């Protein structure tokens, strides 16, 4: 193994990993805020768009740890690449969902199907049994548009920007 392969990650990797960990957490935190504080019930695709962030935050925290503890630079760079790939997945999911909302293509067939939140499993089929059923919003209807973009559209921008930062950081050797 060459000397450069085992060299510690530069301070820039530390800054980028910290930025990405905080930015990914803030992005998914904003989505959770709109859900729990704003009352916007997410659809199936909205939930799926959060997965890259749920995985990405710990991966970027590990990149931050790798850089802080002066582990080999290749490891920190590999973790930044993983973060970039996660954001590429988020970008794909955001584009797909935005396209469904704009009716450019069909969405999943199981979107907005009621699901049972009760634990009983059995019932008489009356009106009271329907109280525990939640009907999530349809994937093809934007719950809110801000400056013309839905939540999915904003996720496209966030994923693109964060992915670009992650890949940039991974490409920097010094």
* pLDDT mean over 118-146: 65
Give the start-to-end residue ranges of the domains of the chain: 11-106+113-171
Burial 9-47 (b: 16+ CB within 10 A, else e): bbeebbebbbbbbebbbebbeebeebbeeeebebbbbbe
How many CA atoms does the CB half-sphere of 90 hold within 13 Å? 32
The pair of three-digit structure tokens given for residue 59, joined into one six-digit string: 């991966």
pLDDT in tens, 127-139: 556 555 666 678 7
pLDDT for 67? 92
Q: For residues 90 and 96, what is the distance between their CA atoms, to the nearest angstrom? A: 10
Residue 1: the pLDDT is 43
**What pLDDT is attached to residue 111?**
77
pLDDT tier at 40, thresholds 50, 70, 90? confident
Distance (Å, whole) CA 18 – CA 174: 17
Position 145 confidence tier, pLDDT thresholds 50, 70, 90 = confident
Closest listed residue to residue 53, CA positions, set 29, 71, 37: 29
Q: 3-class DSSP state for residue 25?
A: helix
How many Å is the maximal CA-CA distance in the chain?
Answer: 72
Q: State the pLDDT confidence band at 3, using cuts at 50, 70 and 90.
A: very low
**Which residues on adjacent β-strands are paired with residue 108?**
none
pLDDT tens readout for residues 16-27: 999 999 999 999
Model's pTM, two decimal places?
0.80
> Dihedral of CA 70/74/79/81: which sign?
positive
By C-alpha distance, which of 123, 150, 171, 138 is closest to 44?
A: 138
Q: How far apart are CA 85 and CA 141, in angstroms?
A: 28
pLDDT at residue 7 above 80? no
The predicted pLDDT at position 112 comes to 63
pLDDT at 163: 97
Answer with the residue of higher pLDDT: 147 or 109: 147
d(CA 161, CA 76): 19
């Amino acid at each position: 193994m060459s000397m450069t392969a085992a060299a510690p990650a530069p301070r820039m990797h530390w800054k980028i990993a910290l930025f990405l960990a905080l930015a990914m957490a803030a992005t998914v935190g904003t989505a959770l805020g709109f859900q729990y504080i704003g009352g916007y019930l997410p659809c199936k695709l909205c939930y799926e768009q959060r997965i890259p962030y749920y995985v990405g935050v710990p991966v970027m925290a590990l990149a931050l740890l790798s850089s802080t503890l002066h582990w080999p630079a290749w490891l920190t760079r590999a973790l930044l690449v993983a973060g970039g790939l996660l954001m590429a997945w988020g970008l794909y999911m955001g584009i797909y969902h935005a396209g469904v909302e704009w009716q450019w293509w069909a969405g999943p067939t199981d979107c907005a199907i009621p699901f049972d939140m009760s634990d009983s499993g059995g019932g008489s089929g009356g009106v009271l049994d329907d109280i525990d059923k939640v009907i999530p919003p349809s994937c093809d209807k934007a719950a809110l548009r801000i400056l013309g973009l839905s939540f999915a559209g904003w996720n496209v921008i966030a994923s693109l920007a964060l992915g670009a930062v992650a890949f940039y950081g991974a490409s920097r050797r010094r």
